Amino acid sequence: MNDTGFVLVIGATGNQGGATARELLARGRPVHALVRDPDKPAAAELKEQGAILVRGDLDDPASLRTAMTGASGVFSVQALAFEPETLAAEVRQGKAVADAVAETGVPHLVYSSVGGAERATGIDHFETKAEIERHIRALGLPATVLRPAFFMNNLLHYAEAGDERILELPVDPERPMQFVASDDIGHFAADAFENPAHHTGRRIELAGDELTFPQVAEIYERVTGTPTRLVTVPIEERMFEWFAEEGYEADIPALRAEHPGLLTFEEFLARRLAPAAS
């Protein structure tokens, strides 16, 4: 077991960092949350939950080193990027976090990457994470890499519907997709900090369910009572080509053996939407 020192959570106001911070706090671990603006509502909510807010900036290496001093672990995730400028910023910031971990001697880094990062997908925002992973390895850091599949949270985009819900997506309707809830990413991150001897060096692709998108529509309809159907549009982006050609490869039964509470999409959606639908 690791000591009970604090974990610095980067991205704590987002889905993955927020889930990690909440899970660590629920387990009694001290959490320091790196924030640029401690007065923002999301930061204030973290403080109310018990996190200590630490002002810092991913483009300010000195602030990262200061925030990490004395930490027993660091959770690193960067903002989703698509444009050349933001993709370059993601790589720069992910490497800066890893460099600061090396410089301050933090004993465990948990980096959230993406499923398939190791497979040369040709997807820009997958390749950026692969580059950060390579940098972590080159530094020889004691690290755990989490590689999440498609976020269930992304499908909440379709939660609001009138008489009919239409999922308009550039997908192969017969090709299953693997999905993961951000709360489960937080669970695996907290497990890694709780038992670093077991998790250091692991690279874990994460998913909790595997469904075709017509099945996603069926579940949406069952949970909300609103007629729901998939409408496919042409596949033009590289990411959706990869989803149709290869896709994620998480070993869901093995993951469920480690975490029996791993959410299916129906369980996730019921938690998020059933109260509002009733």
Q: Tens of pLDDT along 215-270?
A: 999 999 999 999 999 999 999 999 999 999 999 999 999 999 999 999 999 999 99
∠ at Cα 201 (199, 203), nearest 5°?
Answer: 85
Query: What percent helix, strand, coil does the chain show, rounded to 5?
Result: 50, 20, 35
Question: Token pair for residue 135?
Answer: 């940098």
Alpha helix (H) ranges present in 203-264?
A: 213-224, 238-245, 252-258
* Interatomic CA distance for residues 135 and 199, integer angstroms: 19
Give the global pTM: 0.95
Question: In a 3-state reduction of DSSP, which class is residue 74?
Answer: strand
Q: What is the pLDDT of residue 3?
A: 56
How high is the pLDDT of residue 273? 86
Q: What is the pLDDT of residue 4?
A: 60
Q: How many residues does the chain have?
A: 278
d(CA 214, CA 175): 10
Collapsed DSSP state (helix, strand, coil) of residue 276:
helix
Q: Which segments of the chain have a pLDDT < 70?
A: 1-4, 274-278
Residue 118: is it exposed, middle or buried by C-beta count within 10 angstroms (0-12/13-18/19+)? middle
Asked whether the beta carbons of 34 and 54 are under 8 A apart, the reply is: yes
